[in-house]
């Protein structure tokens, strides 16, 4: 009985498939395509016309000049912080540090950098919303340059090029 049902189902699917294939309008027709001639002549090559592209008006600026010093500026203090770090890597010669403290209005800090000539550059700074960033730069130590060929000695004229 099951074999009969299976065979009947296959036969029914084959018949449906053939019927759909005959009515399928997406396949090319058996006799080819037959199009009517256009009722107006095909245009000859013409130069394309330039059509101006309308530009939108420029938007009005959404900003203005900075407020005058002490004018209508409303200062909102920032987050207070206190941080520092220090790097001293003998293998690479990196030696620098940074310390900073802020109460939310004024930040004070100092950073130090070991320069290639052996000196340490020290920058002490103050920054606030009213006066901006103000720094004082000083140096510790003496600049030392390695002696190379043609350098050093009383008769040396410096670098040779």
Structural domains for the chain = 81-140 (2.20.25)
> How far apart are alpha carbons 13 and 30 in whole angstroms?
24
Q: Helix, strand, coil shares of the chain as percentages rounded to 5?
A: 15, 30, 60
Task: Strand 94-102: give its sheet, edge to edge.
Answer: 81-89, 94-102, 106-114, 120-128, 132-140
Residuewise pLDDT in 10s, the chain (161 residues) = 767 667 776 666 666 566 655 565 666 667 666 777 778 777 777 666 777 778 788 887 776 666 565 566 677 888 999 999 999 898 888 889 999 999 999 999 999 999 988 899 999 999 998 888 999 999 999 998 888 776 655 554 555 54
Q: pTM of the predicted model, to two decimals?
A: 0.47
């Amino acid at each position: 009985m099951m074999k009969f049902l299976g065979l009947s189902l296959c036969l029914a699917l084959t018949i449906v498939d053939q019927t759909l294939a005959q009515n399928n309008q997406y396949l090319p027709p058996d006799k080819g395509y037959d199009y009517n001639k256009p009722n107006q002549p095909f245009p000859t090559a013409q130069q394309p016309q330039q059509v101006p592209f309308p530009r939108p008006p420029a938007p009005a600026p959404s900003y203005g000049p900075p407020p005058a010093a002490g004018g209508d500026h409303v200062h909102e203090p920032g987050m207070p912080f206190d941080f520092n770090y220090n790097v001293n890597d003998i293998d690479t010669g990196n030696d620098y540090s940074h310390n900073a403290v802020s109460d939310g209005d004024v930040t004070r800090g100092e950073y130090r950098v070991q320069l290639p000539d052996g000196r340490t550059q020290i920058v002490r700074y103050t920054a606030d919303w009213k006066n901006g960033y103000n720094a004082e730069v000083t140096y510790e130590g003496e600049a030392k340059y390695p002696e190379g060929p043609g350098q050093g000695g009383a008769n040396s004229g410096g670098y040779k090029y």
